[in-house]
Structure 1
C-alpha cells in the first residue's frame, strides 16, 4: 500500500543543513493502522508530510498503491492526493463556513454537482455522528466535534489512505478515546489504511496494528505493536512503553524484600492461566505481589507481574523453571538467594 524507500528530507537554515528524515525505509500494509512514535523533533511529522508530498523529500521514493509520488507534479499529483486524506492536530476548519460547508469544501473544489455534494456531506456527517451539526459554525463546537468534522472532511473524496498528524493531542482523554474508536471503525468498515503519528503510547496501544519508533530522523525499531510491547529492544521504545506499563517500585520496598524479586510476563492465552497460583501451590515457596496488571493490546492479553518469591534456593529455581515451562518469561530483578 505505502512503500517508503531511502527517504531523506533536509532543511536549509542559516546555521546550515538540518536533516529531518534520515534515510528511512518503511512499508505500511493495506488496511492496517500504522503508528509512528517519537518525541518532538524526531522527524515523524516531516515523514508524514512527505507521504502526500506536502513536503517534497530531498531524496528517496514514496509509492502509494504502486504509484511513485515523487515523480508526479501538477495535475497528476493533485489527483493522487485526492486518495490521501489528512487530519490535523489543530483542525484547521474555516471559521466562516458551516460544518456542512467545511466538509463539502473539498468536494466543491473537485467540481462535483451540488446535489452530489449535499448527499455526500449527509453521508459523512452521519458517519462521524454530527448529523445535527450541519448548519452550525466551528466556534459552536467542542474540540472533539471539530476533530470529527476534520475526519469527515478528510474522507470526502473516498481516500484509500488517511494520514493523522497528532490528531488527538489537543483533546482530553475521554474525547481522545472516542476519536480513536471512530478511526478504528472507519479503518475496519471502509478498509482505509491509516498512518498516525503520536508521542502517546496509549494511542498506539488502543488502535495500531504495527508501529515504528523514530529518533533523530531515523527509525530505530519497528514491528507488530503486541511484539514491541512485550519485547522492546531499543532503549527509547522501552521508555515509551514504560509510560503505559510501569514496573517502578519504590527502592525502600525493594530493600525490605528478603527473597528474590522476579518480573514475570505472560503472553496471549497464557496470561489467563493461573500459573503463579499453581507455582505457589506445587512448590514450597511463598509469593508476594509487588506490582501487576494485564494489558490488552490488539485484543490480546499481556500479563506483567513483579513479585517477591521466598523459599529454599532449589525450590525457587524449580519454581522459575516451572513458570518458564508454562510459557512465562521470567527475569530475576533482585537475587535474594
Structure 2
C-alpha cells in the first residue's frame, strides 16, 4: 500500500512562498491503477515526485507498506527507491547507448550481478515487445518505442510501485492506446501498483480503477473511476468528464422542445435492461431522444441519455419515478 498522510510541499524563493501540495491525504491499495488528474499547476507532479522523494515534502508522511520514506536517508533510502520505478513524458534515454545498454545501466546502478544483467535485459525487452531493438540507438526509435524502453528501464529492479509522469502526453492517440494496453498488462501480470498523473480523462477511463482530482494543490474529489464518471460532484470533475463524454445540446434544438427534458443515467446491468422502452409502453408519454451513449468503464456499462418526455404532467412524473425505481438516476434539465 502507498499512503500520503497530510502531505504539504512549499516552494520558497526570496520574495514569496508557493504551495505546490496542500495537505493531501490519499490511500492507494496494492495493485491499483490510480490516476491523479488536474490541469497544469494543480500540484499533481509535485505530489508524484514526493513518492520517491525527488521532491521532499515540507511536512507529512509517505508510507510504502507501512514504512515512512521521509524518515529514511542514505543507503536505506536508496534501497527503498529501487522498489519505486518511474517513467516520464520525455523518455530521458541516453542517446549514446543502445536500447539494451539503457536498460542495463539501471541494473548496474542497482548493483545487479554482472552475469545476471544480459538475461534480465532480454526478459524486459520481451515484456515490452522490443526484443529485436536491443542493439538499436534511441534516435532510431519511434516515440512509442522510446516509451517502451523507458517502461522496461523502470521495471528493471522489480519495483512494487510504478510512477507515470504524463507518460503518454507526447504520443499520438494510437500509440497512447498501445502504451496503456502494455501498462494494463504489466499491472495484471506483475500485480504492480501504478500511479499515473495526467490531464487526459481518456487515459483515466482506459486504464485506471481509482482516481483523484487535484486543484490548487488539494484533492477535491476521489474514488472509483466508474462512480466518479457516473456521478461527479465537483464542477472541475464534471468539466474533465465532459471532455470525454459531452452532452451539450445546441440551444436551437432546445428552443423547439415542448416537453420535459431529462438526463437519464443507467449504471451497471441496468444500462442494458430496456428501461426507457418499458417506460414508454407503460405510461401515456412520448419520448424523443436528443443525445445518448453507452460508455464502458472498467468493462462495466454506463448509459447516459438526454431525452424529451411529452404528456400530461402527472404521466411524465410517473414515468420519471418508474425509471428511478428501476435503478436509473434522472435529472430534469431546465430549458427556455
TM-score by length of 2: 0.98
Alignment of 1:50-61 (within 5 A): 50-61=50-61
Alignment of 1:58-73 (within 5 A): 58-73=58-73
The equivalent residue for 1:92 is: 92
The equivalent residue for 2:159 is: 159
Please state how far the C-alpha of 1:279 moved relative to its aligned partner. 1.0
SS of aligned partner of 1:70: helix
The equivalent residue for 2:103 is: 103
- 2:297 is aligned with 1:318: no
Please state how far the C-alpha of 1:66 moved relative to its aligned partner. 1.4
Alignment of 1:123-142 (within 5 A): 123-142=123-142
Alignment of 1:11-90 (within 5 A): 11-90=11-90
CA distance in 2, matches of 1:74, 1:307: 62
Q: How many residues align?
A: 336
The answer as to whether partners of 1:32 and 1:209 remain within 8 angstroms in 2 is yes
CA offsets per residue over residues 90-121 of structure 1, 9 Å max, x none? Answer: 00000000000111111111222333100000
CA distance in 2, matches of 1:260, 1:110: 65
Please state how far the C-alpha of 1:335 moved relative to its aligned partner. 7.0
CA distance in 1, matches of 2:14, 2:296: 48
- 2:303 is aligned with 1:283: no
CA distance in 2, matches of 1:334, 1:22: 37
SS of aligned partner of 1:288: strand
The equivalent residue for 1:332 is: 332
CA distance in 1, matches of 2:57, 2:131: 39
Mean CA deviation greater in 76-85 or 109-118: 109-118
CA distance in 1, matches of 2:115, 2:281: 71
Unaligned runs of 5+ in 1: none
Alignment of 1:171-186 (within 5 A): 171-186=171-186
Please state how far the C-alpha of 1:54 moved relative to its aligned partner. 0.5
Please state how far the C-alpha of 1:193 moved relative to its aligned partner. 0.3
The equivalent residue for 2:309 is: 309
Mean CA deviation greater in 295-304 or 7-16: 7-16
The equivalent residue for 1:297 is: 297
- 2:264 is aligned with 1:272: no
Please state how far the C-alpha of 1:298 moved relative to its aligned partner. 1.0
Runs of 4+ in 1 over 3 A off after TM superposition: none
Please state how far the C-alpha of 1:33 moved relative to its aligned partner. 0.5
- 2:127 is aligned with 1:120: no
CA offsets per residue over residues 180-233 of structure 1, 9 Å max, x none? Answer: 111010001100000000000011111111111100000111111111111111
CA distance in 1, matches of 2:115, 2:286: 73
The answer as to whether partners of 2:254 and 2:335 remain within 8 angstroms in 1 is no
SS of aligned partner of 2:171: coil
The equivalent residue for 1:199 is: 199
CA distance in 2, matches of 1:110, 1:226: 39
CA distance in 1, matches of 2:334, 2:16: 49
CA distance in 2, matches of 1:213, 1:15: 30
CA distance in 2, matches of 1:6, 1:209: 23
CA distance in 2, matches of 1:66, 1:316: 55
TM-score by length of 1: 0.98
The equivalent residue for 1:250 is: 250
- 2:172 is aligned with 1:168: no
CA distance in 1, matches of 2:49, 2:203: 20
CA distance in 1, matches of 2:235, 2:15: 30
